[in-house]
């Protein structure tokens, strides 16, 4: 099994697995509480091998008429997702660091959880998510909270799960500086310099800075915040936004042309 599949993180018999399962349960509750249309299109950005998408499809949408699309940057993961043979579902390669203009107004529901903390440029990623959502559609975003006592607990707890957990991120001196920054509540994003295109670690992902940009970006586009929800004692955070609608004669949430057909046109 690919080391980055979601099954590995969700099936762990340790606190990390418990936090991930709580996050997935929170995502299901949040989606079921939102005003979902009876039919439409659902897209997961950062779908891994389709585990989360399949779980949401079966838990949230069995009585609704939806098509499903998963995006990821890893072709091996996408091959695993396609091998599942999920009905009404397609998977495509996509780099969230890039400009993805072909996805404009493509999906009724845009979902991105456990992804943006790994993206090199989450500002570009958030703009892709907003662009991909249809007018009047829903955008659901979830990230881990790596600040406060939750971040401190995670940072120290990883030493109990595996030896030398941070050697691929920084040296011993930087680890001490990072712990001190956590305890003082200092900004963490400076530890993500120089910028990379992909972060395997959550370290340096400052949830406070991220939320500030997320709200400013969404509110500047007049998106409505429907819900802000923590899970697992605040170890994870979710936001649900609704993109502003336009007159129905110009745009229709459900659309006259199937979303799958529109997507195929964009990827030719």
CB-based contacts of 197, cutoff 8 Å, min separation 6: 97, 120, 121
Reduce the DSSP state of residue 110 to 3 states and report it.
Answer: strand
Residue 23: Cβ within 10 Å count:
24
The predicted structure's pLDDT at residue 86: 96
CB 41 within 8 A of CB 107: yes
Please write the tens of the pLDDT for every residue from 211-239. Answer: 999 999 999 999 999 999 999 899 999 99
Nearest to 48 by CA among 16, 10, 80: 80
Low-confidence ranges of the chain (pLDDT < 70): 1-17, 247-268
Residue 25 lies in a domain: yes
Is the residue at 187 inside a domain?
Answer: no
CA distance 64 to 115: 26
pTM value?
0.87
Task: Give pLDDT, residue 103.
Answer: 93
Determine the Cα–Cα distance for residues 160 and 147; give it in Å rounded to an integer.
Answer: 19
Q: Return the CATH number at 84.
A: 3.40.50.150
Q: Is residue 233 part of a domain?
A: yes
The boundaries of the domain holding residue 33 are: 6-146+205-267
pLDDT tens digits, residue range 163-202? Answer: 888 888 988 789 999 999 999 999 999 999 999 999 988 9
**CB 181, CB 106: distance < 8 Å:** no
């Amino acid at each position: 099994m690919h080391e980055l599949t979601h099954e590995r993180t969700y099936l762990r018999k340790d606190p990390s697995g418990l936090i991930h399962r709580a996050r997935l349960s929170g995502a299901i509750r949040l989606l079921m509480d939102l005003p979902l249309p009876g039919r439409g299109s659902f897209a997961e950005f950062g779908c891994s091998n389709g585990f989360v998408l399949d779980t949401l499809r079966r838990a949230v949408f069995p009585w609704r008429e939806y098509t499903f699309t998963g995006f990821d940057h890893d072709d091996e993961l996408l091959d695993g997702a396609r091998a599942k043979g999920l009905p009404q579902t397609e998977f495509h390669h996509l780099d969230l660091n890039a400009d993805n203009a072909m996805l404009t107004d493509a999906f009724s529901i845009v979902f991105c959880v456990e992804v943006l903390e790994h993206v090199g440029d989450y500002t570009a990623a958030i703009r892709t998510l907003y662009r991909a959502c249809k007018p009047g559609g829903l955008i659901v975003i979830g990230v881990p909270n790596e600040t406060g006592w939750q971040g401190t607990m995670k940072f120290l707890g990883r030493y109990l799960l595996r030896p030398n957990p941070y050697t691929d991120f920084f040296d011993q001196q930087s680890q001490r500086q990072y712990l001190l920054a956590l305890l003082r509540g200092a900004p963490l994003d400076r530890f993500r310099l120089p910028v990379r295109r992909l972060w395997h670690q959550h370290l340096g992902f400052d949830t406070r800075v991220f939320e500030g940009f997320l709200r400013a970006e969404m509110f500047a586009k007049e998106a409505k915040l429907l819900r802000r929800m923590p899970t697992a004692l605040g170890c994870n955070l979710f936001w649900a936004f609704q993109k502003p609608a336009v007159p129905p004669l110009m745009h229709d949430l459900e659309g006259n042309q199937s979303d799958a057909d529109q997507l195929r046109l964009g990827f030719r």
